[in-house]
């Protein structure tokens, strides 16, 4: 075994030189001569019947090649939008979805036609000239009213607006515990809709070659192999005739996982017109039509004893699924499965989810997907209980944590937390933030009429999906594993093809670190390739759910070890020794006790393609591996936010943010810290700034540009103080856990808890997100009015 040299080291990313010089290869950077541009004609209504569509004028415009409607696409595109079971195997209603509406539109922005023209400008001109008449229909815009029998329906052919209604555990589960409770706290917690907003919007280019019946699709996606299956299936082509290429991708955050209408329409148009076609989403289209995240109401009740120990929990999730169920829309129900957080629930947890169809764009995973909601609800409830009991929220947490000695710990829903030391991260965070001094300062400031608050979030996360056995049902049959193929060339240089996909995570660097240590080959000689279905293993599952390192990185490790095993046999043959007598160290195999008698990995690579191999050994030095983890991984941590609220303006200023996280062993601290810092920014963004807003009456999107949808800037987001503890995961050989979503999962609860803590003297016990100055000011006014 090679001595670890690179794993754990702060290696600067090899991706960066091309990205800081303008040399990135994003889909829209691909400029192929003769490529047509597509623009999409979209519904301006949330719900309407299409009464007339006239493309005559548009078709007559110079440069317009075709106006295509549902009638044109129906002969070439089959099937319906893919909807994975996720955590809800049995759904009540899954509305059929075709990429272009033909008679009824069910959300603002739904495609009704596309215009294909010689360039972008002419396509946009063409789209503006397509005449569509609509008869507006009542829109479903209110999540709870949608459940009433006399509510309008999201689709005219529906009998109700229920997508699913599933009790993970019946309410009876907790009946006894609630009966014995000495205190019950309740809250209705809103999770506003969020727009994932990668800075690169979605885009697709396609070229169909009729001679070899080959379709090439370039697109910004987090999972090229899934995209290929969907596109090939819809076009009725063999999977192998479709090649999906996704080089550099400008962020995803979950929104580039699912299937979208344009993913089908662009290839179909290319096939119909026998010309390459490209389409890039505008930002307004992105806010209108790229899946949103969250969009939930959570009714929560916590039963406890007066000493602060928890008994049981009830969660009822109302989830706004939008007008169609998203490909992985039901994944967000894991908010129920993780609602218990880092704590023990002797009386159990009752959890029910209702997925509700509305006339809005579908929701799907957005960074954290279900886990931020779970963390937010439980961490809010813990603080609420602490206030009711007049206890320190830290003490309530300590009292109920799963203890370090209790791992592996199986929760109410049968999920097994692999390893942890929750109190360890909390203790470190308290020390870093200077907790007792802070509480003293809070008291002093309160006497001066100033509102300082301290908020905690002791979060946990399930991530690193697989295992295959636990996830095959959730995807509809494909068990989540991850693949890697390692090729050692005769000159000793290495190419590794991975099935996961990077869009900012730094796979090219960290995977090379792992491979270098495992293979004993210099980092510089190892190239990581991804994002092209024509290269590497038959299937890759992609990057989401903080799975790249814990599953994909382990596939790199596993395949690299297969190379080492074969190299050992070749080395033994070359050294005329028994494999058992060889030692592998720093890229060399030497005979035990005789370091001079050795072969380097480079020499072995050359020999693997030469004339003299061990008896029965194949030529070449290549290996492929699929890593199927035995369990999920469970990172955790403690975040502390310190906020001061100005009661005159309702402005909440974050004074300090401390995060102590534990993602097991760290491959590259630079990247881990970057992920945490960026994740926290998105959590703060939800807590204080961002909200997708629709007009209640008509379902019109009111946040259709970045003027209204407030992605925070460098002037708003503080630099968090980061630290970590290390509790290795037993679920993989390197002991790693995912860290991509951690910051976002943790942060909103820490911020809101801090604000509520600040305003506690006013009797405020809960605040919904985003806690804008406007919302806070109103709540403060109300509270002060009430006190007078």
Among 230, 253, 260, 366, binds another protein (CB under 8 A): 253
β-strand pairing of 622-627 with 482-488: antiparallel
By CB under 8 A, tell whether 434 contacts another protein.
no
Instruction: Report the length, in residues, of the chain.
Output: 788
Give SS3 for 162: strand
Our finding on whether 19 is near another protein (CB under 8 A) is: yes
654 lies in the site for another protein, by CB under 8 A: no
- Per CB under 8 A, 251 contacts another protein: yes
d(CA 155, CA 163): 12
Binding region for another protein (CB under 8 A) out of 331-339, 459-467, 702-710, 749-757: 702-710
Interface with another protein (CB under 8 A), residue from 2, 26, 267, 732: 26
**Residue 32 in contact with another protein, rule: CB under 8 A:** no
Cα(203)–Cα(28) distance, integer angstroms: 7
Is 250 among the residues that bind another protein (CB under 8 A)?
A: yes
Q: Is 16 in the site for another protein (CB under 8 A)?
A: yes
Q: Cβ 389 to another protein, closest distance in Å?
A: 35
Segment lying near another protein (by CB under 8 A), choices 222-230, 353-361, 525-533, 707-715: 707-715
Binding of residue 610 to another protein (CB under 8 A): no
Bridge partners (DSSP) listed for residue 114? 40, 68
Q: Does residue 29 bind another protein (CB under 8 A)?
A: yes
Is 292 within 8 Å of 365 (Cβ atoms)? no
Q: Taking the complex as a whole, how short is the minimal distance between the CB of residue 510 and another protein, in angstroms? A: 12
**Residue 8, interface with another protein (CB under 8 A)?**
no
Cβ nearer to another protein, comparing 124 with 167: 124
Q: Should residue 34 be labelled a site residue for another protein when binding is judged by CB under 8 A?
A: no
- Is 21 an interacting residue with respect to another protein (CB under 8 A)? yes
Among 349, 374, 680, 751, binds another protein (CB under 8 A): 680
Kindly report the backbone phi and psi dihedral angles of residue 247, in degrees, each rounded to the nearest multiple of 5, phi listed first: -80, -110
Instruction: Check binding of 124 to another protein (CB under 8 A).
Output: no
∠ at Cα 546 (540, 552), nearest 5°? Answer: 35
SS (H, E, C) 509-575: HHHHHHHHHHHCCCHHHEEEECCECCCCCCCCCCCCCCCHHHHHHHHHHHHHHHHHHHHHHHHHHHH
CB 433, min distance to another protein, A: 17
Structure tokens at 121: 């400008």
Q: Does 23 bind another protein (CB under 8 A)?
A: yes
Contact 742, 675 (CB under 8 A): yes
Q: Between residue 182 and residue 211, which ones bind another protein under the rule CB under 8 A? A: 197-201
Q: What are phi and psi of 25, to 5 degrees?
A: -120, 70
Question: Shortest Cβ distance from residue 398 to another protein (Å)?
Answer: 29
Least distance in angstroms from the C-beta of 200 to another protein: 4
Verify binding: residue 670, another protein, rule CB under 8 A: yes
Helix (H) or strand (E) holding 186: strand 183-194
Minimum CB distance to another protein, residue 301 (Å): 34
Per rule CB under 8 A, count of chain residues that contact another protein? 59
Residue closer to another protein, measured from CB, 26 or 497? 26
Q: By CB under 8 A, is residue 405 in contact with another protein? A: no
Check residue 505 for interaction with another protein (CB under 8 A).
yes
Site for another protein in 708-747 (CB under 8 A): 711, 713-715, 717, 719-720, 743
Q: Which range touches another protein (CB under 8 A), out of 307-315, 443-451, 499-507, 769-777?
A: 499-507
Q: List, in sequence order, every residue forming a beta bridge with 124; answer none if it has no partner.
A: none
Q: Shortest CA distance to 671 belongs to which of 529, 516, 518, 548?
A: 548
Q: Does 17 participate in binding another protein (rule CB under 8 A)?
A: yes
Question: How many whole angstroms separate alpha carbon 194 and alpha carbon 691?
Answer: 5
Q: Which helix (H) or strand (E) holds 662?
A: strand 651-662
**Which residues ranging from 47 to 66 are in contact with another protein (CB under 8 A)?**
62-63
Residue from 247, 283, 441, 766 that binds another protein (CB under 8 A)? 283
Contact with another protein (CB under 8 A) among 215, 277, 671, 750: 671
**Residue-wise DSSP of 270-334:** HHHHTS-EEEE--HHHHHHHSPBEEEEEEEEEEEE-TTS-EEEEEEEEEEEEESS--TTGGGGGH
Closest contact distance (angstroms) between CB of 425 and another protein is: 20
591 sits near another protein (criterion: CB under 8 A): no
Residue 693 as a binder of another protein (CB under 8 A): the answer is: no
| SS3 at position 694 | strand
Backbone angles phi, psi at 298, to 5 degrees: -125, 115
Rule CB under 8 A: is residue 390 a binding residue for another protein? no
Residue 391's CB is within 10 A of a number of other CB atoms, namely 15
- C-beta separation of 543 from 616 below 8 A: no
Alpha-carbon distances of 126 from 56, 108, 755, rounded to whole Å? 10, 20, 50
Residue whose pair of structure tokens reads 């070449």 in the numeric block: 620
For another protein, the closer of residues 470 and 670 by Cβ is: 670
The CA angle 104-106-109, to the nearest 5 degrees, is 105
The distance between the two most distant Cα atoms of the chain, rounded to a whole number of Å, is 94
Of 20, 159, 611, 787, the one binding another protein by CB under 8 A: 20
Residues in contact with another protein by the rule CB under 8 A: 12-13, 15-17, 19-24, 26, 28-29, 31, 62-63, 120-121, 197-201, 248-251, 253, 280, 282-284, 503-506, 670-671, 673-675, 677-682, 705-707, 711, 713-715, 717, 719-720, 743
């Amino acid at each position: 075994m090679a001595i670890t040299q690179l794993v754990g080291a702060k290696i600067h990313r090899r991706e960066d030189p091309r990205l800081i010089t303008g040399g990135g290869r994003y889909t829209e950077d691909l400029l192929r001569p003769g490529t047509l541009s597509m623009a999409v004609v979209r519904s301006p209504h949330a719900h309407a019947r299409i009464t007339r569509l006239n493309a005559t004028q548009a078709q007559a415009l110079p440069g317009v090649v075709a106006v295509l409607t549902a009638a044109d696409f129906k002969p070439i595109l089959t099937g319906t939008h893919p909807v994975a079971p996720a955590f809800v195997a049995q759904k009540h209603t899954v509305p059929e979805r075709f990429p272009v509406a033909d008679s009824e539109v069910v959300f603002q922005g739904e495609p009704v036609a596309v215009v294909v023209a010689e360039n972008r400008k002419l396509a946009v001109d063409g789209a503006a000239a397509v005449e569509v008449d609509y008869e507006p229909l009542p829109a479903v815009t209110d999540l709870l009213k949608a459940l009433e029998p006399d509510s309008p329906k999201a689709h005219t052919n529906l009998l109700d607006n229920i997508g699913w209604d599933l009790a993970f555990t019946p309410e009876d589960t907790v009946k006894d515990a609630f009966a014995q409770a000495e205190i019950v706290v309740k809250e209705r917690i809103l999770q506003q809709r969020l727009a994932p907003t990668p800075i690169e919007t979605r885009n697709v280019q396609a070229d169909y070659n009729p001679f070899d019946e080959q379709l090439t699709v370039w697109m910004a996606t987090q999972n090229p192999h899934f995209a290929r299956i969907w596109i090939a299936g819809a076009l009725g082509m063999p999977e192998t005739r479709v090649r999906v290429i996704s080089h550099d991708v400008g962020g995803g955050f979950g929104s580039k996982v699912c299937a979208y209408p344009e993913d089908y329409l662009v290839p179909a148009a290319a096939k119909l017109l026998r010309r390459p076609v490209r389409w890039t989403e505008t930002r307004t289209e992105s806010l209108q039509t790229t899946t949103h995240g969250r969009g939930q109401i959570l009714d929560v009740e916590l039963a406890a004893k007066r000493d602060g120990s928890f008994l049981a929990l009830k969660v009822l999730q109302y989830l706004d699924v939008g007008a169609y169920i998203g490909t992985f829309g039901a994944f967000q129900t894991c908010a129920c499965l993780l609602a218990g957080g880092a704590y023990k629930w002797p009386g159990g947890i009752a959890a029910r989810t209702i997925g509700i169809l509305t006339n809005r764009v579908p929701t799907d995973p957005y960074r954290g997907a279900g886990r931020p909601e779970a963390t937010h609800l439980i961490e809010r409830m813990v603080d609420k209980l602490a206030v009711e009991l007049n206890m320190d929220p830290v003490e309530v947490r300590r009292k109920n944590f799963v203890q370090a000695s209790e791992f592996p710990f199986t929760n109410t829903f049968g999920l097994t937390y692999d390893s942890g030391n929750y109190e360890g991260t909390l203790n470190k965070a308290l020390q870093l933030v200077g907790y007792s001094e802070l509480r003293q300062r809070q008291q002093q400031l309160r006497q001066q009429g100033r509102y300082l608050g301290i908020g905690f979030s002791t979060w946990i996360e399930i991530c690193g999906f697989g295992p295959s056995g636990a996830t095959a049902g959730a995807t509809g049959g494909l068990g989540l594993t991850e693949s890697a193929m390692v090729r050692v060339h005769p000159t000793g240089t290495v190419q590794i093809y991975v099935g996961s996909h990077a869009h900012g995570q730094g796979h090219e660097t960290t995977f090379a670190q792992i491979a270098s240590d495992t293979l004993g080959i210099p980092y510089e000689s190892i190239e990581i390739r991804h994002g092209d279905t024509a290269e590497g293993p038959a299937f890759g599952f992609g990057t989401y759910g903080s799975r790249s390192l814990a599953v994909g990185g382990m596939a790199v490790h596993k395949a690299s070890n297969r190379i080492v095993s074969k190299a050992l046999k070749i080395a033994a043959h070359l050294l005329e020794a028994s494999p058992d007598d060889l030692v592998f160290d720093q890229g060399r195999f030497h005979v035990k006790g005789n370091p001079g008698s050795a072969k380097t990995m480079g020499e072995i690579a050359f020999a693997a393609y030469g004339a003299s191999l061990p008896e029965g050994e194949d030529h070449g030095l290549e290996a492929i591996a699929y890593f199927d983890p035995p369990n999920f991984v469970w990172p955790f941590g403690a975040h502390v936010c310190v906020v001061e609220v100005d009661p005159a303006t309702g402005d909440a200023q974050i004074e300090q943010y401390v995060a102590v996280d534990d993602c097991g062993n760290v491959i590259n601290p630079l990247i881990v810290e970057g992920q945490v810092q960026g994740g926290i920014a998105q959590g703060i963004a939800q807590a204080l700034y961002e909200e997708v807003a629709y007009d209640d009456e008509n379902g019109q999107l009111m946040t259709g540009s970045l003027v209204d949808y407030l992605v925070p800037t460098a002037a708003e987001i503080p630099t968090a103080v980061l630290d970590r503890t290390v509790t290795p995961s037993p679920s993989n050989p390197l002991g790693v856990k995912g860290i991509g979503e951690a910051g976002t999962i943790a942060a909103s609860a820490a911020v809101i808890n801090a604000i509520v803590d600040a305003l506690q003297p006013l009797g405020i016990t809960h605040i919904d997100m985003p806690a804008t100055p406007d919302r806070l000011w109103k709540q403060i006014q109300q509270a002060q009015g009430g006190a007078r």
